Structure 1
């Protein structure tokens, strides 16, 4: 099996109070983990 063809997909759902910067904070952490956000 070609490992490059193996791709996992996840859906992340968050629930919290609306506040400035929450999307930036979450996406920054995901980027720091090396995830691909599409």
Structure 2
């Protein structure tokens, strides 16, 4: 599990790479991908 510091660093890197305007879109896509992964793990 990642610590809060590591998550903050990752978030800052994403902010620099993709810009603030695209972060909500990326977060939504990431959330959907994680949900799909969890669904397949349950089967």
Do they superpose with TM above 0.5? no
The higher radius of gyration belongs to 1
Higher relative contact order (CA 8 A, sep 6+): 2
TM-score relative to the length of structure 1:
0.38
